[in-house]
Structure 1
Amino acid sequence: MTAHPVLAVPAPSVEAAATLIFNVGAGGSAHSTPEALVEALHQIGYRPVYRATDSEADLHLALDDVTGPVFVAGGDGTVRAAALYLAGRPDVTLGIIPLGTANNVARTLGIAGDPLEVISSYAGAQAVPFDLGRLTAPWGHDVFLEALGCGLFAEVLAAYDPEQGKSPLRAAGALGAVMRKFTPAPLTLTLDGEVQPPLDSLLLEVMNTPATGPRLPLCSGADPGDGLLNVVWVDAGEGEGLLTYVAALAAGDFAQLPSVTSKPVRSIEIPYYGQPFHVDGEVRPAQPDTYGVVRAEVWEAALQVLVPIGGAP
């Protein structure tokens, strides 16, 4: 992340007020306790107020009037939910303590490891701006931290239904069911106001971070601090098989495939014919016989996030 200015956040000489949000349902929450995290924050000079959340209503109440550092312990879903409340508030700085499974946002910032060690690394951390994507669509207004997309991944996610909980068996079943009937849709994109040639899109993703979903590295060049989004699409006409894509993702070579194109943009318009979309890890279900446009644009420096020493400024 290099385009925006980096602000040094010196370790407080006296205990400074802070807020700790802890999601007890996150994947790694069993390995940490709120009490241990509070004590670790005390050790680096903060006086945290711990606020437990297990619902969106709880989160709204917890973040309604906060200022200063807000440390969020949880996975990408918890980070997303908190970020939606904190976006556009220059008096708040977000610190992520990853407890989830994928932790795409934290990994983008170079934040990984044991939660107590992560907190320790925040001593003398830097605050850096973090862009978001915001959009208008037939279903309403939306914001994403990682990615917005339609096509194969969105269809599989819709069939899988993350609201039912995580299950590798259900995921495999959803992939098989979608692959049996999926037909790539012809799309004519508009990138930064310029209409593109029509394409049969197997997958279309608007990326703000390098990876989304279960750590799918779809765009290694995506940088949430550069004031841009990255549009990635797969042209179904190239005829590459599913195993080719899986192998390329595992090897980190996805962008080098002949069928894959990636372009940096500030805005994109995507034709909408009722197909399902995903917004980060959430599904916007299909709306048959509904037509319109999904328009996404970068929201520059919507958040201020803490990056540990040695992270990814």
Structure 2
Amino acid sequence: MKVVKLLHNPGAGDEEHSKEELMSTLRANGFECRYSSTKKKNIGKDIETDIDMLVVAGGDGTVRDVVGDLLDRKMLEKNWPIGLLPLGTANNIAKTLGIEGETQDIIRSWQGAKVKKYDVGRLYDVPESKFFLESFGYGVFPYLMQEMKKTGKEKIDVPEMKIKAALELLHDIILSYEAKRCMLEIDGVDHSGNFLLAEIMNTRSIGPNLFLAPQADPGDGHLEVILVPEHDRKKLAAYVQHKINGIEEDYDFHSITGKNIRISWHGTHVHVDDEVVKLKESSEIKIELKQSLLEFLVP
């Protein structure tokens, strides 16, 4: 019997995703289960050495919190496979990995699951942020995050309503946002220009499930750099409008792959996954891909 450590965000999901229900379901599927709440600080220190795998129950932010504690623990001492139960609003990490469906079905699938290596973006010169799992970027997205907080819309607790509110706000921002100068070097090649957004992505989607990098594979040893210049403003706005209307349409954004990136932006705000960080004006940030630091169980 495999021993799993359930790392659970008690504020995610509904009554079916309570501590008791999740532990009961894990045991019913043949796992010995131990528990820790992700609300506890330094959760990585609670993981016993005889654990066979980790189960992370929550959204993208919960996954980031857990991984942050593991990396602080120098997780290379033991690399536990992670079974992900997506209980958040966007679940961009889970969607990229193809992990969707009912909790019971996901848990049952682990008996014959494959292990998927997952790269991590290492950040240098970003205060209090050393890595990203989803994306790092400038432009309309950090501005959207600030506006969601300012308008109180980030407190909407119905996932579908929250995503729609974010899309509607993003559409308005795209139409009025002034393109900014971006100094960008990817693997030694200059790609500088004026952009509405510059996103260094590890997942296929970011924010309110916008698939800006549908070709992204977080285990392929590359990051996807997505750039939207001024002449693509209407194209980006139309893509978001289609999402608002419930139409899923492929969008071919300008994408460049790379492993080592230097970037600065004529502005002060950037987002690291789902957090906004304030930098000094036009600070240069170095990004380095760290391959295969994590392992996820995938269908």
| Cα 1:126/1:253, change in 2 over 3 Å | closer
Amino acid at match of 1:186: R
| Partner in structure 2 of residue 19 of structure 1 | 5
| Partner in structure 2 of residue 41 of structure 1 | 26
| Partner in structure 2 of residue 158 of structure 1 | 146
1:125-158 Cα distance to aligned partner (Å, 9 max, x none): 2222111111113435421111111111121112
Alpha-carbon separation, structure 2, partners of 1:51 and 1:299: 28
SS of residue in 2 equivalent to 1:240: helix
Q: 99, 113, 136: which is aligned to 2:101?
A: 113
| Cα 1:275/1:114, change in 2 over 3 Å | same
Unpaired runs of 5+ in structure 1? Answer: 1-14
| Partner in structure 1 of residue 135 of structure 2 | 147
| Superposition pairs of residues 272-287 of structure 1, within 5 angstroms | 272-285=265-278, 287=279
Greater share of residues in helix: 2
Deviation at 1:92, TM superposition (A): 1.4
Alpha-carbon separation, structure 2, partners of 1:112 and 1:67: 25
Amino acid at match of 1:25: G
Alpha-carbon separation, structure 2, partners of 1:254 and 1:69: 37
**How many residue pairs were aligned?**
285
Deviation at 1:189, TM superposition (A): 1.0
Deviation at 1:78, TM superposition (A): 0.6
| Partner in structure 1 of residue 249 of structure 2 | 252
Deviation at 1:277, TM superposition (A): 0.9
Alpha-carbon separation, structure 1, partners of 2:212 and 2:100: 20
Amino acid at match of 2:204: P
Higher mean alpha-carbon deviation, 33-42 vs 126-135, is at 33-42
| Partner in structure 2 of residue 182 of structure 1 | 177
| Partner in structure 1 of residue 186 of structure 2 | 191
Alpha-carbon separation, structure 2, partners of 1:203 and 1:296: 17
SS of residue in 2 equivalent to 1:219: coil
Do the aligned residues in 2 keep the contact of 1:21 with 1:72 (CA within 8 Å)? yes
TM-score by length of 1: 0.81
Deviation at 1:281, TM superposition (A): 0.9
Alpha-carbon separation, structure 2, partners of 1:65 and 1:174: 46
Do the aligned residues in 1 keep the contact of 2:117 with 2:219 (CA within 8 Å)? yes
SS of residue in 1 equivalent to 2:111: coil
Percent sequence identity is 32
| Partner in structure 2 of residue 300 of structure 1 | 291
| Cα 1:67/1:102, change in 2 over 3 Å | same
| Partner in structure 2 of residue 211 of structure 1 | 205
Do the aligned residues in 2 keep the contact of 1:63 with 1:85 (CA within 8 Å)? no
| Superposition pairs of residues 24-103 of structure 1, within 5 angstroms | 24-26=10-12, 28-55=13-40, 57=41, 59-63=43-47, 67-87=51-71, 88-89=75-76, 90-103=78-91
SS of residue in 1 equivalent to 2:112: coil
Deviation at 1:266, TM superposition (A): 0.8
